[in-house]
Amino acid sequence: MGNAVVLYVFRKMVVSNIPMNEGCLKSLNLIVPQKSMINPAHPAAVISGNTEVSQAIADPLYSALGVIAGSQGTMNDFVYGSDTFQNYETICSGTGAGDQFDGTGAVHSHMTNTRMTDPEALETRIPVRVDEFSIRQGSGGQGRFKGGNGIVRKLRFLEPMTVTVLTSHRKTPPHGAAGGERGKTGENSVIRSTGETEALEGNDIAEMNLGDVFVMKIPGGGGYGSRQS
């Protein structure tokens, strides 16, 4: 997993169209301390190395290189289902801004490269309804160049199901760069059919009943450069 993230980041830094293979790592020396978060040892608890952890590595690598601000820094893993239906999605968001360019809103970034299911296909196959799928205006960090906006996704459940979310940057916002402002943190919540709203943690489980709506507000990317510069 660590090799894959480093390969991705440094391959993107190469202007030439070179093949993507292990030879790209020959000039790099990876030093990963034993028993660290990205090189754990038994009996450490581990999960989501190829999703949340890989995203958490990509942003600081780009930051150390001074290239772009922090992107969403999470894959927003969204899993839901019952004994009959199951679905697993990763949700798009905003990318960080860089020198001479704004971030992009509502796209998958870095280590998450999947496409989301079309609402028509999703609603045909699973008893849910997409109430809202919109750009989260103002969630990208301000700066000389603005971070990309995240999204708002509201999914209404038409049958009882269990939802599990594994999401990051719900408490710590994506960082800005070169004086740019941070993006907004994400939020997870459930609007019950009674109208009551329940706030959830970044990593959480919720039992959804008929008519309940799961709301996910995704982080925006960080801005680049001071607005006064």
Instruction: Note the pLDDT tens digit of each residue in 11-64.
Output: 888 888 888 887 888 888 888 899 888 888 999 888 777 788 889 899 999 999
Yes or no: say if 203 and 186 are a contact pair by the CB < 8 Å rule: no
Angle at CA of residue 165, ends 193 and 120, nearest 5°: 65
The answer on pLDDT for 1 being more than 70 is no
Yes or no: say if 161 and 82 are a contact pair by the CB < 8 Å rule: yes
Residue from 64, 34, 68 nearest 183 by CA: 68
Instruction: Note the pLDDT tens digit of each residue in 132-168.
Output: 999 999 999 999 999 999 999 999 999 999 999 999 9
Q: At which residue do the structure tokens 């510069």 appear? A: 229
User: When comparing pLDDT for 49 and 173, which is higher?
Assistant: 173
